[in-house]
Structure 1
């Protein structure tokens, strides 16, 4: 009997601890009727949330927001742990990168608030199709689109001028290949940087502009698609011509940006912030043009990066969290603030009506660079990530390394697809 009482006491204590964690995680209403929402985010997103919350409070004085600045990967560790525990310890609001949304919803189908039931679908036309596709699973919104990463070729004006290359004449990747050879010969600068054996951002951008990705719309492995092979073969052409500077991770890309050893950096619009922060002395020496197409008149739009906001279903303040996030995500002035002060390029198309998105940028030689990025958004194809995105990324990088080491691109991707099939049990799309 004594043992049973001891066991019961332990269980009761455990329940109290769990309940306490759950209550603390989402604030809750105080005796004065005020609600404290908790949010998990990282980096510049924290400042954007806090500023939006101050403006929101003017019309909603009963709502407070407590933002926890947590490292990106730490957010995912804590989120996964909380979801696996049935929602214990989770916040009311969490920032999630677009490539992870579908994976979380597929793994935890009841883990997040159904935003369609809350009425968010009425805002669908305010966002580009690809962001809507990322925010929805089976036509149901589980996330509110936030920032995006429309892509471009950030380039050094002085390097192009010294080589006698006009960026406006670069329409295709073949054009850029020839321009890169001229630039290397006359200036010594590489065409672009890449951590060739650890990351594949250029390959991902190429896939996206071609309308394919690691997986297709049905979730089948699509690495053997002819367009995927085309993209990998194009990268190989640049490598064989000695035009890719092999760098060590993110710091290597930034170093190449600062020292001018590369003529261009193909990246998302968010890289603007890194350039103006890390390469201050190069003000006026920058420009940007769209990704080259694979054929004359082909698509030049793609996206790299971006995130959205989600509300864990366990939130005790889901109603208030939804109201705040709806305000944050669909108010042009708020999205313009996030862009102007924090460099977060908005997905909300009504925000583009601000002068900010048509103004000339002095750091970029007076070019209205944001106009180019905003016009690109509507043409970005949807990338299908699935919950196995990280495994797809891993195998694509291996295929890229094999290709750069001399293997045929088609063969390398075929082998990667087979390994991915073994790891995910997904079918390979036959072409």
Structure 2
């Protein structure tokens, strides 16, 4: 009798201690580690207090990683030591799935209820063979930031800039009126190329093959070259150089995503009230004016011993108003659409004199899904070399083929013909 009572008591104690981590438990007492970088890591750190009000028994530690993933990839390759949650750039995640197969938890069932609540194009980066392996985080809808006062001085009406050809002509007019100011700056990396490529509906990979030699790629590259050749774009080297150019009025526009609004406010603060924001010009009148640049995802490592707790954290930071409130404070524009109805999201921005976030929300409706494929961890240098070659005047078709072959050699993927 005593033995039976002890056995029953033991069973009850086990049952009360929490469910098995693989069965949908909250995993009381779990400690989860999250690898992220820069402002994203800071935003996630600030989320912990609110998360612990809801889940007081789950401890969260933020590990500051880097955009080169040097603190994450060795553990994934070794099969041990990886954090529970890993941030990657959206464009890199397919490469992670290929380079580190069976290292990420299948979240298909857990994310099914949220599918219609996120920007449709954001799911492409996290889906492979119909299964979802990460949650979309932020996105980068892109626009044209322009100096209202400089445009007025040069007699340029922003409403008249409907196409990129119009933009180039306006740039010439600006240069004539204000010789010390050029229309924009480029940094000779693939940010501008990707904006144009996405706007055109192009992709780095198509049907499983390298596609940087596509008609859309050629059109994007030739626009970059035309902007340089026509004298409406100067090389400002890097992000810091761009800030200096803005402060010195060396450039009058920036072709960048929503997050650059925060950069202008904090680093070009004396120009409050002088900046406007407009949709991108189209490649042809009436054409697409929307594009995305950037964005991240959050994935759960299969090495995690607390996958349920890890998803609870992701769920809190990405699918609640409380979580998204913190994100927007750090300039992370949500791909989670319900937050667009939040009053904070709709607040007027004094620097620009407009409701900035609702404006950018209107630039997410026709963003093309871009297939980055599994190549982006290996494609950075060949693409930068490609852009540099075209800007230097080398044959665009030959340069695209060279880049495609270089990526193919590393990734073993075929090249589209």
TM over 0.5: yes
Aligned residue among 245, 258, 262 for 2:247: 258
Aligned counterpart, 2:332: 344
Aligned counterpart, 1:104: 96
Task: Map 1:29-428; keep pairs closer than 5 Å.
Answer: 33-73=28-68, 76-86=69-79, 88-117=80-109, 119-188=110-179, 189-196=181-188, 199-216=189-206, 218-339=207-328, 341-364=329-352, 366-428=353-415
- Which runs of structure 1 show a deviation greater than 4 angstroms over 4 or more consecutive aligned residues? none
- Alpha-carbon separation, structure 2, partners of 1:48 and 1:274: 16
- Residue 254 of structure 1 deviates from its aligned partner by 2.1
Secondary structure in structure 2 of the residue aligned to 1:378: coil
- Residue 102 of structure 1 deviates from its aligned partner by 0.7
Distance 1:33 1:299, change over 3 A: closer
- Residue 317 of structure 1 deviates from its aligned partner by 1.0
Secondary structure in structure 2 of the residue aligned to 1:150: strand
CA displacement, residues 279-332 of structure 1 (integer Å, 9 cap, x when unaligned):
111111111112111111111111111101111101111111111211221113
**Which structure carries more helix by proportion?**
1
- Alpha-carbon separation, structure 2, partners of 1:282 and 1:265: 14
Secondary structure in structure 1 of the residue aligned to 2:88: strand
Distance 1:250 1:345, change over 3 A: same
TM-score, normalisation: structure 1: 0.86
Secondary structure in structure 2 of the residue aligned to 1:146: strand
Where do 5+ consecutive residues of structure 1 fail to align? 1-31
- Residue 145 of structure 1 deviates from its aligned partner by 1.0
- Alpha-carbon contact 1:332-1:348 (below 8 Å) kept: no
- Residue 402 of structure 1 deviates from its aligned partner by 1.8
- Alpha-carbon contact 1:192-1:263 (below 8 Å) kept: yes
Distance 1:397 1:160, change over 3 A: same
Secondary structure in structure 1 of the residue aligned to 2:76: helix
Secondary structure in structure 1 of the residue aligned to 2:335: coil
- Alpha-carbon separation, structure 2, partners of 1:132 and 1:40: 21
- Alpha-carbon separation, structure 1, partners of 2:194 and 2:331: 22
- Alpha-carbon separation, structure 1, partners of 2:405 and 2:93: 25
- Alpha-carbon separation, structure 2, partners of 1:422 and 1:50: 40
- Alpha-carbon contact 2:65-2:72 (below 8 Å) kept: no
- Residue 33 of structure 1 deviates from its aligned partner by 4.8
Where do 5+ consecutive residues of structure 2 fail to align? 1-26
- Alpha-carbon separation, structure 1, partners of 2:122 and 2:236: 31
Secondary structure in structure 1 of the residue aligned to 2:368: coil
Secondary structure in structure 1 of the residue aligned to 2:153: helix
- Alpha-carbon contact 1:336-1:346 (below 8 Å) kept: no
Secondary structure in structure 2 of the residue aligned to 1:376: coil
- Alpha-carbon separation, structure 2, partners of 1:329 and 1:112: 18
